[in-house]
Chain A
Amino acid sequence: MNNQSCIPIKKEWDIVGARQYGRDIAKNLGFGSVDQARIATAISELARNIYLYAQKGKICFDIVEGVNKKGIKIVAIDEGPGIEEISKVMEDGYTTSGGLGAGLPGIKRLMDDFDIISEVGKGTEITVVKWLR
């Protein structure tokens, strides 16, 4: 965990910073340009969710090692309102912001692993991993 570092998300501008930071890690790990772009897009979505719904939160980055594989792990943590029905927001086409944006299912598609923990009134923590093939 010594590689972990976090970028706080408060302003829209922070989203760009988080993208840049994540892309650099992905690039150094050896991800190709499509995967870099996908990872950056996933970070955007995660950070936008924080910016739009929780106002305050952070995106943390980590390099993970599995058996014979390496990957980038991104954790989005916020202290927002939380999500009541997770299975519903994971459905395709569900959105509360009236469209635009891939939403959680989109993030799941961009990445390899996806996990979400949310408590109403406390906040949400989304963990995603992309493995280097």
Chain B
Amino acid sequence: MEKYKELMKQYMLTENEEALYKAEQFSKQLLQKDVSPDEIVQIHIESLKSLYPELPKEMKRSLDFLLETMIAYGIVHQEARDLREKQLELKSEIEVAANMQDTLLNTVIPDVEVLDIGVLSVAAKQMNGDYHHFIKDSSGNVGVGIADVIGKGIPAALCMSMIKYALDSFSDERFSPNSILELLNRVVERNVEAGMFITMFYGVYDIHSHEFTYSSAGHEPGFFYKAKSKQFEEIDARGIVLGVQNNVSYINYSKSLEVGDTVLLLTDGVTECRQGDRFIERQEVVDVVQKYIHLPAQHIVENVYRYFERLQDFDLRDDFTLIILRRER
């Protein structure tokens, strides 16, 4: 109050820029101390009355009128401050949840001699609605699951945890992909409200016969890469998304892999990358992968991600998951 009065007095006498500059600095201090707009008007009125006790009564009344008018702004100011605090609280809570999710959904890439495996999963927002899962069964075969909840953010992430727990509850004995999807479908159908869907792809790589057996629940099709012909072909698998209806049967498909042949699994966060308003073509994904196909699997996924991250100006619109399995020998 005294400071304001002093600055105002200085300005009234000199009308110079320096006083105005000081007032600007002072207003920042007031903001830091959370002084509300109506309080500043009050300080102004008091200062004015004390500097010029002979103010005309019309002037005084008009100032009281102004003060009254400013009260509502004071409330809004306080409300905004409280909401800001709440928002910070929420943000840090979500961060904790996201870390927890990372720990919960953590999966270890199995170490098998015949396969080179690369995987990258990046959340568009703080929490990831994509899920992938690796498992090595008792005979050393590798199971790989990739799933995508329709939607993103926290609801999707919560939903994903359920898939993880369900998968964990199955025994390590070798299941066929279609029966895994059938079991998961039952879990999802019972526990998720209508309107929330999960797409999923599950495959098992037999390390002795080099057969890749797989089944899909409406999941974005991946690709097979044939090393001999250097050609990509779409993985053809049909099945209804998880959670829509009870007692669904899924079909098993299988594919024989030669040395160098590669399985490419992804979520729609990869194929629905956007450049401006333009969705990229699936062919573009293939082209980018082709460019890096000579690299180790992990390097491929990282390079592909970097390419699309840049294409989208470093602002992911959907969760992005890409898995590469290549037969090494």
- On A, residues with C-beta under 8 Å from B are 32-34, 37-38, 40-41, 92-93, 102, 105-106, 109-110
Partner of B75, one of A32, A33, A34, A110: A110
Q: Jot down 6 A-B pairs with beta carbons below 8 A, ordered by A.
A: A33-B42, A33-B64, A34-B42, A38-B38, A102-B72, A102-B75
Are B83 and A92 touching (Cβ within 8 A)?
A: yes
Q: Is the interface of A mostly helix, strand, loop or mixed?
A: helix
How many pairs of residues, A versus B, come closer than 8 Å at their CB atoms? Answer: 36
CA distance A37 to B72 in the complex (A): 10
Point out the residue from B39, B64, B79 that lies within 8 Å of A105, measured CB to CB: B79
- Bound form: Cα–Cα A116–B82 in Å: 21
Q: A32-B42, A92-B82, A92-B83 are in contact. Are A37 and B71 (CB under 8 A)?
A: yes
The winner among A37, A41, A102, A110 for most chain B CB atoms within 10 A is A37
**Cα–Cα distance between A93 and B83 once the two chains are bound (Å):** 10
Interface of B is mostly: helix
Q: Is B67 engaged at the interface, CB distance under 8 Å to the other chain?
A: yes
The winner among A34, A40, A102, A105 for most chain B CB atoms within 10 A is: A34
Is B38 within 8 A of A106, CB to CB? no
Please state if B82 and A41 are interface contacts (CB–CB under 8 Å): no
Asked whether B68 is an interface residue with its Cβ less than 8 Å from the other chain, the reply is: yes
B residues in contact with A40, CB < 8 Å: 68
Given contacts A41-B71, A110-B71, 15 further A-B contacts (CB under 8 A): A32-B42, A33-B42, A33-B64, A33-B67, A34-B42, A37-B67, A37-B68, A37-B71, A38-B71, A92-B79, A92-B83, A93-B79, A93-B83, A102-B75, A109-B79
Please give me the residue from chain B that is nearest to A102 by CB atom: B75
Query: In the complex the two chains form, is A34's CB within 8 Å of B64's CB?
Result: no
Q: Is B122 an interface residue (CB 8 A)?
A: no
B241 on the A face (CB < 8 A): no
Which residues from chain B contact A92 at a C-beta distance below 8 Å? 79, 82-83
Is B191's beta carbon under 8 Å from chain A?
A: no
Write the nearest CB–CB distance from A88 to chain B, whole angstroms.
Answer: 15
- CB A82 to nearest CB in B, in angstroms, measures 25
Check if B248 is an interface residue, CB within 8 A of chain A. no
Which of B42, B67, B74, B82 gathers most chain A CB within 10 Å?
B74
Given the known inter-chain contacts A41-B72, A102-B72, please indicate yes or no for A34 contacting B79, CB distance below 8 A.
Answer: no
Whether, in the assembled complex, B99 has its beta carbon less than 8 Å from a beta carbon of chain A, the answer is no
Chain A residues within an 8 Å CB radius of B78: 109
Chain B contacts with A in 250-305, Cβ cutoff 8 A: none
B64 surroundings in chain A (CB, below 8 A): 33
Flag if A33 contacts B45 (CB, 8 Å): yes
Is the beta-carbon distance between A106 and B75 smaller than 8 angstroms? Answer: yes
Closest to B67 in A: A37
Return chain B residues, CB-CB under 8 Å to A93: 79, 83
A59 CA / B83 CA spacing, docked (Å): 30
In the bound complex, residues from chain B placing their C-beta under 8 Å from that of A106 are: 75, 79
CB distance from B40 to the nearest CB of A (A): 10
Give the Cβ gap from B259 to chain A, nearest Cβ, in Å.
Answer: 62
Chain A residues with Cβ below 8 Å from B82 are 92
